[in-house]
Amino acid sequence: MKTWSEIAEIQPLASKIITNSIKKDRVSHAYLIHGERGTGKEEIAIILAKVLFCMDLNGIEPCNECINCKRIESHNHPDVHWIEPEGKSIKKEQVENLQKEFTYSGLESNRKVYVIKDADTLTVNASNRILKFLEEPTRQTTAIMITENSQAILPTIRSRCQIIDLKPLNPVSFQNKLLENGLKKQEAILFSALTNNLQEAIEWSKDQWFEEARKLVIQLVEMFSTKPEDVYLFIHSHLIPLLKERKDQEKFLDLLLLAFKDILYYHIGNENEPIFYQSTDVLLEKAAMSFSEEQIIDNLNAILKAKRKLKQNVQPTLVFEQLALQIQR
């Protein structure tokens, strides 16, 4: 997506809000763009930056051909600064370096833009540094923060930004795109529940990791009901070796969440096709018989809590051990 018209197809309200401000020459000094993975956050940030620097702007649309547009597209424009987490967080030193850059005049104009990816990972000290930027805005500076979890950002920062909430993509439309790209129906249903990014879903469908993780989720759910005493050994011997990176740990919890959602829907007689299990899977019926509705809801909440702990950098092994204890209860 490289134009506002393309953005408008999936995010009509967000596109309208931002383009109206462009037309009126009232671009905000700071935006907080919030939305799920694949909903267009980074694309919006790039197009907005292009609008501010494009050498051949066509109304509200950047030309996408001039040197400024091309450099912004490749994250190489000297006056458009990108900050991303180093490791698991954005640190104070990164923001200090940004502040140092902003003490100099723009290399090619007086305008400057900075984009903060995964803004919810700002440390407390880094957040306080960013807050100083936002408290003294200049017309020539635009901040764009993008996040999947705006509630994790300091209220004082949120209050100084124009918040742009992006709506989830239409799952049926997304599934059809996946089918057109060669995925099987069950794969399309599963991956559309995990991501809204087409290329990411296609890559994941070819990744053997997902097949292995899915098998382990099924084994883990079955073990909770049949051999709960073996769960800790299973976690250390099978899960921990597979889940070396935080992104893998989070994806595994997403799969476990989908599994328990299917079990809950089976309980309440939901007619929608299961996402994680096959509709005729005997394991789904077996799992549903092992947990009450109340237990399943408690388990779903426990998994969501575990995901939050991972984002807070709690030691992964401890997170999974605590989750196992909560589900066993």
DSSP string, 210-274: HHHHHHHHHHHHHHHHH-GGGHHHHIIIIIHHH--SHHHHHHHHHHHHHHHHHHHHHHHT--SPP
0.75 surpassed by pTM: no
Query: Which letter does DSSP use for residue 105 in this model?
Result: P
329: pLDDT strictly greater than 60: no
Q: Domains plus CATH for the chain? A: 4-165 (3.40.50.300), 207-328 (1.20.272.10)
Q: What is the mean pLDDT of residues 230-245?
A: 92
pLDDT tens digits for 146-167? 999 898 999 999 999 999 999 8
Pick the more confident residue, 210 or 280.
Answer: 210
Mean pLDDT, all residues of the chain: 90
pLDDT tens digits for 46-67? 999 999 999 999 999 999 999 9
* Residue type, position 250, single letter: E
40: pLDDT strictly greater than 70: yes
pLDDT tens digits for 122-133? 999 999 999 988
